[in-house]
Amino acid sequence: MRATDSEIFEAIKSVLKKDTTIHSQKELFEKVKKTLSGKEEVQVSAERIRRVAKKNGIRIQVHSRKGKEIKICPFCGKELQDITSKDLFGKSTVIGKLCKNCKFEIGIGRSPARYVFRK
C-alpha cells in the first residue's frame, strides 16, 4: 500500500504531537511509518516524508557537515543557486548554496548530515 501526501502529513503531525522535536530523519521515518502502518505495511521513503514535512510548513533544521557539495535541493529537488559575497576588494566569492524555491540554504563545501523536525 502506498501512502498519500496528506496521510503522510497527518502521521507527521500526530508524531510531533507526542514528541515535539524529532532529532533525525531516521527517527521521524520510523515513527511515521509505524503510525501509517495499521494492518498493512505502508510503503513510504524517508525522503518523501522529509519533502512532505517541508511542503506543509513543519520546521526543519538542517545540520551540515563537511562533505560533497550538493547541487539539488534535498526538499524540493530544484537546482541550488550560488550565494555570493563580495570581499573588501569587491571580488565576489561563493559562500553557499540556496534554493530559490523553498529557501533552503547550505554553506559551501558542506552537505546535510542531520535533519531536526519541530512542530
Judged by the rule CB under 5 A, the positions of this chain that interact with Zn ion are: 73, 75-76, 99, 101-102, 104
Nearer to Zn ion, 102 or 116 (CB): 102
Alpha-carbon distance of 21 to 26, in angstroms, equals 13
Q: Can you say how many angstroms the Cα of residue 102 is from the centroid of all Cα atoms in its chain?
A: 10
Instruction: Please give the single-letter amino acid code of residue 20.
Output: T
Measured from the CB of residue 102, what is the shortest distance to Zn ion in angstroms? 3
Nearer to Zn ion, 19 or 79 (CB): 79
Nearer to Zn ion, 75 or 117 (CB): 75
Alpha-carbon distance of 103 to 73, in angstroms, equals 9
Measured from the CB of residue 103, what is the shortest distance to Zn ion in angstroms? 7
DSSP state of 2: B
- Look-up of cell digits 502521521: 11
- Residue among 109, 110, 102 nearest 59 (CA): 102
Measured from the CB of residue 86, what is the shortest distance to Zn ion in angstroms? 25
Measured from the CB of residue 54, what is the shortest distance to Zn ion in angstroms? 8
Nearer to Zn ion, 76 or 108 (CB): 76
CB neighbourhood size of 51 (10 A): 19
